[in-house]
Structure 1
Amino acid sequence: MSETRLVIVMRTDLGMGKGKMAAQAAHAAVIAALRSQSTPAFADWWRAGQPKVVLKVADEDTLGLVVAAAEEARLPVEVVHDAGRTQVVSGTATCCAIGPARHDELQPVTGQLSLL
Protein backbone atom coordinates (compact mmCIF):
# COMPACT_ATOMS: atom_id res chain seq x y z
CA MET A 1 0.00 0.00 0.00
CA SER A 2 1.28 3.45 -0.91
CA GLU A 3 1.72 6.03 1.84
CA THR A 4 -0.89 8.78 1.98
CA ARG A 5 0.48 12.31 2.20
CA LEU A 6 -0.32 15.95 1.61
CA VAL A 7 1.79 17.85 -0.90
CA ILE A 8 2.15 21.62 -0.72
CA VAL A 9 3.51 23.36 -3.81
CA MET A 10 4.96 26.83 -3.14
CA ARG A 11 5.80 29.61 -5.60
CA THR A 12 9.35 30.91 -5.23
CA ASP A 13 9.09 34.02 -7.41
CA LEU A 14 7.17 36.20 -4.95
CA GLY A 15 10.01 37.16 -2.63
CA MET A 16 8.10 35.91 0.41
CA GLY A 17 10.08 35.54 3.60
CA LYS A 18 10.41 32.16 5.29
CA GLY A 19 7.75 33.03 7.83
CA LYS A 20 5.32 34.12 5.12
CA MET A 21 5.92 30.90 3.19
CA ALA A 22 5.36 28.88 6.37
CA ALA A 23 2.08 30.71 6.98
CA GLN A 24 0.94 30.10 3.39
CA ALA A 25 1.83 26.40 3.69
CA ALA A 26 -0.14 26.23 6.95
CA HIS A 27 -3.15 27.83 5.24
CA ALA A 28 -2.93 25.24 2.47
CA ALA A 29 -2.68 22.32 4.90
CA VAL A 30 -5.61 23.49 7.02
CA ILE A 31 -7.84 24.11 3.98
CA ALA A 32 -6.99 20.71 2.49
CA ALA A 33 -7.55 18.90 5.78
CA LEU A 34 -10.89 20.56 6.46
CA ARG A 35 -12.17 19.90 2.95
CA SER A 36 -11.17 16.24 3.01
CA GLN A 37 -11.86 15.21 6.60
CA SER A 38 -14.78 12.91 5.70
CA THR A 39 -12.77 10.90 3.14
CA PRO A 40 -10.96 7.57 3.50
CA ALA A 41 -7.75 9.26 2.29
CA PHE A 42 -7.96 11.74 5.17
CA ALA A 43 -8.43 8.90 7.68
CA ASP A 44 -5.37 7.09 6.29
CA TRP A 45 -3.35 10.32 6.32
CA TRP A 46 -4.39 11.12 9.89
CA ARG A 47 -3.48 7.64 11.15
CA ALA A 48 -0.09 7.89 9.42
CA GLY A 49 0.76 11.09 11.34
CA GLN A 50 -0.27 13.59 8.63
CA PRO A 51 2.85 13.33 6.45
CA LYS A 52 3.49 16.41 4.34
CA VAL A 53 6.03 17.42 1.74
CA VAL A 54 6.64 20.96 0.48
CA LEU A 55 7.78 21.37 -3.11
CA LYS A 56 8.52 24.43 -5.21
CA VAL A 57 7.60 25.95 -8.54
CA ALA A 58 9.18 28.97 -10.18
CA ASP A 59 6.07 31.02 -10.97
CA GLU A 60 2.30 31.36 -11.25
CA ASP A 61 2.12 29.70 -14.66
CA THR A 62 3.88 26.59 -13.37
CA LEU A 63 1.65 26.50 -10.30
CA GLY A 64 -1.33 26.65 -12.64
CA LEU A 65 -0.01 23.70 -14.63
CA VAL A 66 0.41 21.64 -11.46
CA VAL A 67 -3.10 22.54 -10.29
CA ALA A 68 -4.52 21.58 -13.71
CA ALA A 69 -2.64 18.26 -13.66
CA ALA A 70 -3.97 17.51 -10.16
CA GLU A 71 -7.51 18.30 -11.25
CA GLU A 72 -7.13 16.13 -14.36
CA ALA A 73 -5.90 13.29 -12.13
CA ARG A 74 -8.99 13.84 -9.93
CA LEU A 75 -6.88 14.65 -6.90
CA PRO A 76 -8.14 17.08 -4.28
CA VAL A 77 -6.39 20.41 -4.81
CA GLU A 78 -6.76 23.73 -3.00
CA VAL A 79 -5.11 26.97 -4.12
CA VAL A 80 -4.24 29.59 -1.49
CA HIS A 81 -4.86 33.22 -2.48
CA ASP A 82 -3.25 35.73 -0.14
CA ALA A 83 -5.27 38.41 1.64
CA GLY A 84 -2.65 41.02 0.76
CA ARG A 85 -1.99 42.33 4.26
CA THR A 86 1.78 41.93 4.27
CA GLN A 87 4.18 40.88 1.49
CA VAL A 88 2.12 40.21 -1.64
CA VAL A 89 -0.82 41.78 -3.45
CA SER A 90 -4.32 40.69 -2.43
CA GLY A 91 -5.53 37.72 -4.45
CA THR A 92 -2.06 36.43 -5.33
CA ALA A 93 -1.95 32.64 -5.67
CA THR A 94 0.94 31.69 -3.38
CA CYS A 95 0.74 27.91 -3.17
CA CYS A 96 -1.54 24.92 -3.39
CA ALA A 97 -2.20 21.76 -1.44
CA ILE A 98 -2.74 18.46 -3.23
CA GLY A 99 -4.22 15.59 -1.27
CA PRO A 100 -4.26 13.93 1.10
CA ALA A 101 -3.72 11.20 -1.46
CA ARG A 102 -1.60 8.12 -1.99
CA HIS A 103 1.99 8.68 -3.05
CA ASP A 104 1.49 6.67 -6.25
CA GLU A 105 -1.41 8.96 -7.22
CA LEU A 106 0.60 12.11 -6.45
CA GLN A 107 3.80 11.02 -8.19
CA PRO A 108 2.66 11.66 -11.79
CA VAL A 109 1.58 15.19 -10.84
CA THR A 110 4.36 16.27 -8.46
CA GLY A 111 7.20 13.78 -8.92
CA GLN A 112 9.20 16.11 -11.16
CA LEU A 113 9.17 18.99 -8.64
CA SER A 114 12.02 19.76 -6.21
CA LEU A 115 11.81 20.17 -2.46
CA LEU A 116 11.48 23.75 -1.22
Structure 2
Amino acid sequence: MSATLGEFRLIIVMRTDLGMGKGKIAAQAAHAAVAAAMRNQGTAAFADWWRAGQPKVVLKVPDEDTLGLVVGAAEEAGLPVEVIHDAGRTQVAAGTPTCCAIGPARGDALHPVTGGLSLL
Protein backbone atom coordinates (compact mmCIF):
# COMPACT_ATOMS: atom_id res chain seq x y z
CA MET A 1 0.00 0.00 0.00
CA SER A 2 1.54 3.35 -0.95
CA ALA A 3 1.25 6.42 1.22
CA THR A 4 -0.71 9.40 0.00
CA LEU A 5 0.42 12.98 0.37
CA GLY A 6 -2.40 13.66 2.83
CA GLU A 7 -1.21 11.07 5.34
CA PHE A 8 0.86 12.02 8.36
CA ARG A 9 4.38 10.64 8.65
CA LEU A 10 7.76 11.24 10.19
CA ILE A 11 10.74 11.55 7.87
CA ILE A 12 14.22 10.61 9.07
CA VAL A 13 17.09 11.86 6.91
CA MET A 14 20.37 10.00 7.45
CA ARG A 15 23.88 10.95 6.35
CA THR A 16 25.65 8.23 4.34
CA ASP A 17 29.19 9.61 4.46
CA LEU A 18 30.00 8.69 8.06
CA GLY A 19 30.67 4.98 7.60
CA MET A 20 28.27 4.07 10.39
CA GLY A 21 27.39 0.40 10.80
CA LYS A 22 23.82 -0.83 10.48
CA GLY A 23 23.30 -0.90 14.23
CA LYS A 24 24.62 2.64 14.62
CA ILE A 25 22.33 3.85 11.81
CA ALA A 26 19.38 2.16 13.50
CA ALA A 27 20.26 3.76 16.84
CA GLN A 28 20.58 7.23 15.29
CA ALA A 29 17.24 6.82 13.51
CA ALA A 30 15.69 5.76 16.81
CA HIS A 31 17.15 8.83 18.54
CA ALA A 32 15.60 11.02 15.83
CA ALA A 33 12.18 9.36 16.06
CA VAL A 34 12.08 9.58 19.85
CA ALA A 35 13.24 13.22 19.85
CA ALA A 36 10.60 14.18 17.30
CA ALA A 37 7.87 12.32 19.16
CA MET A 38 8.80 13.85 22.51
CA ARG A 39 9.03 17.37 21.08
CA ASN A 40 5.69 17.16 19.26
CA GLN A 41 3.64 15.22 21.79
CA GLY A 42 0.40 17.04 22.46
CA THR A 43 0.11 18.59 18.99
CA ALA A 44 -2.68 17.80 16.55
CA ALA A 45 -0.10 16.53 14.03
CA PHE A 46 1.30 14.12 16.62
CA ALA A 47 -2.20 12.82 17.42
CA ASP A 48 -2.98 12.25 13.73
CA TRP A 49 0.40 10.56 13.18
CA TRP A 50 -0.08 8.37 16.24
CA ARG A 51 -3.54 7.27 15.11
CA ALA A 52 -2.13 6.43 11.68
CA GLY A 53 0.33 3.96 13.25
CA GLN A 54 3.35 6.31 13.46
CA PRO A 55 4.51 5.85 9.84
CA LYS A 56 8.17 6.65 9.27
CA VAL A 57 10.27 6.95 6.12
CA VAL A 58 14.08 6.90 6.22
CA LEU A 59 15.83 8.82 3.46
CA LYS A 60 19.48 9.57 2.78
CA VAL A 61 21.76 12.49 2.04
CA PRO A 62 25.41 12.22 1.02
CA ASP A 63 26.98 14.62 3.53
CA GLU A 64 26.65 17.21 6.29
CA ASP A 65 26.16 20.12 3.90
CA THR A 66 23.18 18.43 2.24
CA LEU A 67 21.71 17.54 5.63
CA GLY A 68 22.01 21.22 6.55
CA LEU A 69 20.20 22.25 3.37
CA VAL A 70 17.34 19.84 4.12
CA VAL A 71 17.11 21.06 7.73
CA GLY A 72 17.05 24.69 6.54
CA ALA A 73 14.36 23.98 3.96
CA ALA A 74 12.23 22.18 6.57
CA GLU A 75 12.60 25.04 9.04
CA GLU A 76 11.75 27.57 6.33
CA ALA A 77 8.62 25.54 5.53
CA GLY A 78 7.61 25.69 9.19
CA LEU A 79 8.03 21.97 9.77
CA PRO A 80 9.20 20.57 13.11
CA VAL A 81 12.84 19.43 12.84
CA GLU A 82 15.09 17.57 15.27
CA VAL A 83 18.80 17.28 14.39
CA ILE A 84 20.67 14.47 16.11
CA HIS A 85 24.26 15.11 17.18
CA ASP A 86 26.22 12.02 18.20
CA ALA A 87 27.58 11.67 21.73
CA GLY A 88 30.88 10.36 20.37
CA ARG A 89 30.96 7.11 22.32
CA THR A 90 31.42 4.74 19.39
CA GLN A 91 31.83 5.32 15.66
CA VAL A 92 31.79 9.09 15.07
CA ALA A 93 33.17 12.15 16.84
CA ALA A 94 31.15 13.87 19.54
CA GLY A 95 28.86 16.56 18.17
CA THR A 96 28.69 15.11 14.65
CA PRO A 97 25.24 15.68 13.10
CA THR A 98 24.20 12.22 11.94
CA CYS A 99 20.58 12.65 10.91
CA CYS A 100 17.41 14.61 11.43
CA ALA A 101 13.74 13.93 11.90
CA ILE A 102 11.18 16.10 10.12
CA GLY A 103 7.60 15.97 11.30
CA PRO A 104 5.34 14.40 12.11
CA ALA A 105 3.51 16.26 9.38
CA ARG A 106 1.27 15.70 6.38
CA GLY A 107 2.97 14.25 3.35
CA ASP A 108 1.96 17.22 1.20
CA ALA A 109 3.92 19.52 3.56
CA LEU A 110 6.92 17.16 3.67
CA HIS A 111 7.11 16.41 -0.05
CA PRO A 112 8.50 19.80 -1.20
CA VAL A 113 11.37 19.41 1.29
CA THR A 114 12.13 15.68 1.06
CA GLY A 115 10.48 14.47 -2.15
CA GLY A 116 13.74 14.55 -4.11
CA LEU A 117 15.64 12.36 -1.63
CA SER A 118 16.16 8.61 -2.04
CA LEU A 119 15.31 5.87 0.45
CA LEU A 120 18.18 4.75 2.64
TM range (shorter): over 0.9
Q: Once superposed, what is the RMSD of the aligned Cα atoms?
A: 0.7
Question: What's the counterpart of residue 104 of structure 2?
Answer: 100
Specify the code of the residue in structure 2 equivalent to 1:89: A
How far apart, in 2, do the equivalents of 1:92 and 1:61 lie? Answer: 12
CA shift at 1:5, angstroms? 0.1
Identify which of 37, 40, 61 aligns with 1:36: 40
How far apart, in 2, do the equivalents of 1:45 and 1:18 lie? Answer: 26
Question: What's the counterpart of residue 109 of structure 1?
Answer: 113
Question: What's the counterpart of residue 56 of structure 2?
Answer: 52
1:1-116 matched pairs, under 5 angstroms: 2-116=6-120
Specify the code of the residue in structure 2 equivalent to 1:10: M
Secondary structure at 2:84's aligned position in 1? strand
How far apart, in 1, do the equivalents of 2:116 and 2:42 lie? Answer: 29
Runs of 4+ in structure 1 off by over 2 angstroms are none
CA shift at 1:30, angstroms? 0.1
Q: Which runs of 5+ in 2 are unaligned?
A: none
- Percent identity at matched positions? 82
How far apart, in 2, do the equivalents of 1:30 and 1:60 lie? Answer: 21
How far apart, in 1, do the equivalents of 2:114 and 2:34 lie? Answer: 20
Q: What count of residue pairs does the alignment treat as equivalent?
A: 116
CA shift at 1:56, angstroms? 0.0
